[in-house]
A and B are shown apart, each in its own frame.
Chain A
Amino acid sequence: MNLIDCLKNNAERNPTKIGFIDEERSLTFKEMYEEVQKFSENVSKSVLRSTQVVSLISENSTSFVIAYLGIINSGRVVHLTPTNISLTNLARQTSSTGSGLILCPKVTKKLKEWNSSHYNYSAVPFSELAELTRGEKKDLGKIRRQIVAYLIYTSGTTGEPKGVPVSHDMVEFTTKNIIDVLGYSETDVDVIPLPLYHSFGLGCLHTSIFAGSTVVLLKNADNLENILESVKKYNATSLAAVPATLTKFLKLDRKILDDCLQGLRLIITNSTSIPKNTVKGIKDILKGGNLATYYGLTEASRSTFMIFNEDSNLHESVGKPAPGVNIKIDDEHKGESEFGEILVKGKNVIKQYWNDKKADRSIEDEWLRTGDVGYLDDDGYLFLKGRNDEVINVGGEKIIPHDIEQVVRQIPGVEDSAAFGIPHEVFGQTIKLVVKKAANSDLDKLVILTHCMKNLEKFKIPSKIEFVDSIPKNEYGKVKRSMLK
């Protein structure tokens, strides 16, 4: 069953149930299904039959959902782009996808610039789609549904952007796993403040559609007050948030947190290791509810799941492989270190990248080389240690930045830190550490070095320390080390 079938099913079984809520309106399942049908007809009337990909640039809203499902229902592939994409990157991506149309809620200043430039296809607001006609009329029309549902360009925290085509089969496989493992049902009310143009947020939307639950879409993942108010207002049962958001929650008034979050049965977070105190603090607030995480990439969504138990000492693990998914560590190239590159195989894994033979080399015999490094413990729990290309090699000793950062964050007065390799004539690389001090902290470098000497091997001691105002991170809270170097 694909997304459209699920929506239709929801509309037939629960036509008057509110299925979709954003910050301005709400739609029943029936209303959403009708809007999607209308939108897909307009897409079909507006683009050539040969147009297989339509780009979508939109922040979270019910209109996003209508456009996303409408494009799919017209038989086409949705190319999802971040709202903050640069025009250069947009040009590169649309050229790579062969997209024939860019749809957006409104033409922003940036998109006006796009429309006035030399690019062949314009950004069109949803409201003008119905009036749009182009090409020869005989060539217009709905086409047979593509194998691919959506396309997202990903570069992780480094590297060249790669087009990741995600098929309807992958969506179904992954979403059923999410529902089975995390127990979603149509009685859930799911708050999603994460951008839907990324795999984490989009997977949560798919889950709500497959489960027939109600989804509450928020535009700003950094507006903690709005998230908390929405959870309370809609009697939400699940919330999706990145670990950094959960850590920030714990700095707010405990009474407010209890008041807003206690009714949740689940908080789902993702892919980076979560500070021990955050796990403990959130579990304490949730009482009977669960805190869960997963490991996945756009190329291999939800490859593991982890539900944190209070008694468990596994807070740094991202869990065990999802049903039907296999994970192994590349032992061949790991040398003497305990960790190696993580490989994933399963129906959640892409078969190939979008027109990118070079990137396809990372898929061998259906095993995806993730570029992440980690290890599996004796019980089969996966532990992430960082990115393969983030490993620092100091005189032959391989060091994962996470190991240093974890120790440095224990120092009172450290709010955040990031370690990375810098060139060194003798050692090849040495370690540079950047530290963001907590407000009013008078922390100095010697305190950090002394703490590191006591808690780290000598080859892991940073050779340079710099205090910074902020540490650049991506939407998921992963450090953008390439920007620090």
Chain B
Amino acid sequence: MVKEIFFEVFPTLAENNFGWEKEQKDYDNWDSFAQLNLITFAEAKFSIEFSLEESIEIKSARELVERINSHLK
């Protein structure tokens, strides 16, 4: 489900370019607005709410999954 969010927020992202460990700096278009969009999608999809600190710290798909899981426990 998190992978789907990445493809929504980065519509030009190819399947073979997605990586769970791939970091923000490795994406061409993961800027602060994309970061906000990722957080917004994740919040809507899992009915959770991140703190500002959490929102800023997420730098990869893996970290997003971990943060979501911490809210769902």
Which residues of chain A come closer than 8 Å to B40, judged between CB atoms?
449, 461-464
A183 within 8 A of B: no
A445 within 8 A of B: yes
- Classify the secondary structure of A's interface with B: mixed
- Chain B minimum-CB-distance residue to A425: B52
Interfacial residues of chain B within 13-33, with CB under 8 A of chain A in the complex:
32-33
Contact flag A453-B33 (CB < 8 Å), given A425-B52, A462-B40, A463-B40 = no
B44, A446: Cβ atoms closer than 8 Å: yes
A463, B41: Cβ atoms closer than 8 Å: no
B37, A458: Cβ atoms closer than 8 Å: yes
**Cβ-neighbour of A446 out of B11, B36, B45 (below 8 A):** B45
A427, B9: Cβ atoms closer than 8 Å: no
Which residues of chain A come closer than 8 Å to B56, judged between CB atoms?
426
A459 within 8 A of B: yes
The number of A-B residue pairs with CB atoms under 8 Å apart is 41
Which residues of chain A come closer than 8 Å to B8, judged between CB atoms?
449-450, 453
Which residues of chain B come closer than 8 Å to A397, judged between CB atoms?
33
A430 to B8 Cα, complex, angstroms: 19
A459, B41: Cβ atoms closer than 8 Å: no
- Classify the secondary structure of B's interface with A: helix
Which residues of chain B come closer than 8 Å to A445, judged between CB atoms?
44
A449, B36: Cβ atoms closer than 8 Å: no
B52, A463: Cβ atoms closer than 8 Å: no
A449, B44: Cβ atoms closer than 8 Å: yes
- Chain A minimum-CB-distance residue to B39: A463
A463 to B34 Cα, complex, angstroms: 11
A397 to B32 Cα, complex, angstroms: 12
Interfacial residues of chain A within 122-174, with CB under 8 A of chain B in the complex:
none
B44, A461: Cβ atoms closer than 8 Å: no
Interface string of A382-410 (1 = CB under 8 A from B): 00000000000011010000000000000
